[in-house]
Amino acid sequence: MHALLTAAEMGEADRLAIAGGIPGMTLMEAAGRAVAEAVAALVPSGAVLVVAGPGNNGGDGFVAARLLAAAGREVTVLLLRDPARLRGDAAVAFQRWPGPTRAAAVPLHDAAVIVDALFGAGLDRPPEGIAAALVAAMNAAPSPVVAVDLPTGLHADSGRPLAPGDDGAVAAAATVTFFRLKSAHLLYPGRALCGRVTLADIGIPDGVLDAIRPTTFENGPGLWGALYRPPAPEAHKYRRGHAVVVSGGMTRTGAARLAAEAALRAGAGLVTLASPAAALAVNAAHLTAVMLARIDGAETLAGFLAERRVAAIALGPALGTGPDQLALVEAALAAPAAAVLDADAITLAAADPAAAFAAIAARPAPVVLTPHEGEFARLFPDLTALPKPERTRRAAARSGAIVVLKGPDTTIAAPDGRLAINANAPPWLATAGSGDVLAGLAAGLLAQSLPGFEAACAAVWLHGAAGAEAGPGLTAEDLSPALRPVLARLWGG
């Protein structure tokens, strides 16, 4: 699995590697070499301007400058602080730099490419004075910027610029980072500000993660692939789990059908669309493999869930927000099945969050909440100003549910503090019905007994992969069929 490190955890990784016998200068030389290679790949010729800070980020820049100059490039270093104030490995790297060094000032020298080696992941306050002016100057320059570790001004953990405005952080064309990605490389706006990201191995052993024990991950099969496997040769549909999706009224049926078909495509052995009587004919006209059951209210739904040994239920897509629909949500939460609450079900829960969270806490089976930003604000209004990872984590801890906060950088949090950031979703997933498919995928995976966090993470990743497979111009109906080649690649079929 691909762990993401906080700024503090990255500092600890460096410390542990050095304590384990790897000289800090060895790490810095490897980092600078990776930066020099990225510069050469992005802009193969022409002058290079390295804007260097006072710490190890600047030290990486000095190494890159030396190596680029040795390769025949014209290189100038602008130094933010008096070189006499440099310490440790950064001071050694500066002493090894044989070329011209000038005090940092604006406007910048002309160059084919700029290296932003001012500040890396450790920066926790807005750049000030000449540092802030350099950020603005790099953004104004016509030359592309290669950032060392992170673009200066970008918070490593939140992915937000530390200062407001267009010059709150450097906008890089490429970023070279080390050992493990940071959350800011995946979260917006940081993902856009980083440009193309290269992850360089600088010699820190993977074993340091055993001591750090990170709880943030990049979403992908490494997190859940061992649990989501093809059916065994002797499997049959009853072993693969029964999922139920609750339909809205006669003119609100399409969303639930999208979810039901996705649950089936995700591998649930049986999927039933629970439909009010008035919508039966409409749903029947569109369904083939998905079964149909008449459910006229909360009491009928509760009985159906108990009698049919339903493993997972999803409700909310185009459900409606009246008292009868609230009773359906309450019946679902009172049942032993795993549950996915989406769309209208989240809006209904937001009318009395404490009651909803108490119902979630009282049940052994997992609940997955899948809000977009607006729905999240209704359910957790006091958390909206927090950075996305923190507010997702706090929402999961408060609600007792797995929270999937949707967006171009969807975050998935478990009540125990684990968090995954998803990065494979293409922009054309922003279309009507796409979220309904996601809810169905989560229900289909829960029906197969995947744990809640892993089921939610797998659903989000599969959703993104299907979107990429379907390609530009997709509609929500294209997503379930697009899962077939995605699953074939995932399972080696």
- From first to last of its 493 residues, the chain has per-residue pLDDT tens of 699 999 999 999 999 999 999 999 999 999 999 999 999 999 999 999 999 999 999 999 999 999 999 999 999 999 998 898 999 999 999 999 999 999 998 989 899 999 999 998 989 999 999 999 999 999 999 999 999 999 999 999 999 999 999 999 999 999 999 999 999 999 999 999 999 999 999 999 999 999 999 999 999 999 999 999 988 777 777 778 999 999 999 999 999 999 999 999 999 999 999 999 999 999 999 999 999 999 999 999 999 998 888 999 999 999 999 999 999 999 999 999 999 999 999 999 999 999 999 999 999 999 999 999 999 999 999 999 999 999 999 999 999 999 999 999 999 999 999 999 999 999 999 999 999 999 999 999 999 999 999 999 999 999 999 999 999 999 999 999 999 999 999 998 6
CB 47 within 8 A of CB 136: no
What distance in Å separates the CA atoms of residue 361 and residue 399, rounded to the nearest whole number? 8
What domains sit in the chain, N to C, each tagged with a CATH number? 2-214 (3.40.50.10260), 221-490 (3.40.1190.20)
CB 202 within 8 A of CB 36: no
For residue 480, give the 3-state DSSP assignment: helix
H or E stretch at 398: helix 388-399
Q: Note the pLDDT of residue 374.
A: 97
CA-angle at 56, arms to 50 and 61, nearest 5°: 20
Q: Note the pLDDT of residue 327.
A: 97
Sequence-separated (6 or more) residues with CB below 8 Å from residue 73: 45, 46, 47, 48
Half-sphere exposure of 228 (CA within 13 A, CB side): 31
What distance in Å separates the CA atoms of residue 328 and residue 179, rounded to the nearest whole number? 48
What distance in Å separates the CA atoms of residue 493 and residue 230, rounded to the nearest whole number? 10
- Environment class of residue 362 by beta-carbon count within 10 Å: exposed (0-12), middle (13-18) or buried (19+)? exposed
Q: What is the pLDDT of residues 32-88, one digit of tens each?
A: 999 999 999 999 999 999 999 999 999 999 999 999 999 999 999 999 988 989 999
Distances (CA, A) of 15 to 9, 205, 451: 10, 12, 35
Q: CA 372: distance to chain centroid?
A: 14
CB 178 within 8 A of CB 170: no
